[in-house]
């Protein structure tokens, strides 16, 4: 395919859209959802500090966007991205944005996130700074450094842990000043669905990644088993709220998360029925939508519990 035909097939436009694509907006819910869940869960035990919520939300989005840009930069430097690559922002290989400009913008985003982090620390504790720095380092190492995490079987684990469990824990802690076993348990479905986004990306890119020497889970277990693993991720993330409701750590409204099951099913079927990266792109969208729908409804369940308690 020519560069223009790839852009046409992906619906890529010029102007502001170039910079918007560089952020990989379909992945940004992976940074919004954990902050939303941690804050919504905290609302069950305390009043919410809006300033801390907004600072945490913006910082998380900036770190996620910067991680995406580092991914774009280092995949280009290592020769993994070409004009025909799908699932990337394409700002370097197709739109001609200088690689260093992409990298430098990522560092600027990190800098703004650090400033917001200082505000959070002043309002809470400076131990948050330690956790924040560790998270940013791993965000950089995901595709940067001599041994990128994304090229190993541990990409899903690290992304799910840091973007899911850690962010939910911090979001809860800055509102309540405590970390509980329950909030760790409640973070698991979000962590799994973030890992699912990474796994779906690796399923789509399996052949290209294999040619470039990556050792992702999708490569190690093969495409068919990787799709089954993705289905297991979806099913586990949907079943856990039922368990939490039975344990009394989540309101009955948590059953609403099952509204995300249709998107999970669509992702699974799309992967099963297609085998080229371009054909599998919709599956990526469905996976991200599953994370968004389940995550929003997961947090909303706590808010609805407040409303029904107040009304009745």
> What does each of the 312 residues of the chain score in pLDDT, given as a tens digit?
444 444 444 444 555 567 777 777 777 888 899 999 999 999 999 999 999 999 999 999 998 888 888 888 887 777 766 665 555 556 776 667 888 888 898 899 999 999 999 999 999 998 888 888 888 888 788 877 778 888 899 999 999 999 999 999 999 999 999 999 999 999 999 999 999 999 999 999 888 888 878 899 999 999 999 999 999 999 999 999 999 999 999 999 999 999 999 999 999 999 999 988 889 989 999 999 999 999 999 999 999 998 888 777
- Locate the domains of the chain by residue range: 15-297
Q: Which CATH architecture has domain 15-297?
A: Orthogonal Bundle (1.10)
Burial of residue 173 (CB within 10 Å: 0-12, 13-18, 19+) is: buried
CA atoms within 13 A on the CB side of 96: 3
């Amino acid at each position: 395919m020519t560069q223009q035909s790839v852009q046409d097939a992906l619906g890529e436009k010029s102007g502001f859209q170039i910079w918007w694509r560089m952020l990989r907006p379909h992945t940004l819910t992976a940074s919004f959802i954990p902050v939303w869940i941690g804050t919504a869960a905290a609302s069950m035990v305390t009043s919410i500090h809006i300033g801390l919520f907004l600072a945490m939300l913006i910082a998380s989005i900036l770190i996620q966007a910067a991680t995406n840009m580092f991914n774009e930069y280092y995949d280009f430097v290592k020769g993994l991205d070409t004009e025909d690559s799908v699932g990337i922002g394409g700002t370097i290989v197709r739109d001609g944005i200088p690689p260093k400009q992409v990298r430098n913008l990522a560092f600027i985003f990190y800098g703004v996130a650090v400033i917001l982090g200082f505000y959070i620390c002043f309002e809470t504790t400076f131990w948050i700074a330690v956790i924040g720095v560790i998270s940013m380092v791993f965000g950089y190492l995901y595709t940067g450094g001599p041994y990128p995490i994304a090229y190993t079987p541990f990409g899903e684990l690290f992304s799910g842990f840091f973007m899911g469990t850690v962010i939910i824990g911090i979001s809860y802690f800055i509102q309540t000043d405590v970390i509980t076993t329950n909030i760790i348990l409640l973070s698991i479905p979000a962590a799994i669905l973030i890992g699912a986004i990474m796994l779906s990306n690796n399923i789509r890119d399996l052949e290209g990644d294999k040619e470039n020497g990556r050792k992702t889970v999708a490569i190690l277990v093969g495409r068919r088993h990787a799709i089954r693993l993705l289905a297991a991720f979806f099913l586990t993330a949907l079943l856990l709220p039922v368990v939490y409701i039975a344990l009394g750590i989540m309101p009955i409204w948590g059953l609403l998360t099952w509204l995300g099951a249709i998107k999970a099913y669509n992702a699974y079927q799309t992967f099963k029925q297609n085998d080229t990266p371009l054909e599998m792109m919709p599956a990526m969208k469905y996976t991200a939508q599953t994370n968004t729908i389940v995550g929003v409804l997961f947090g909303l369940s706590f808010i609805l519990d407040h409303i029904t308690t107040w009304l009745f």
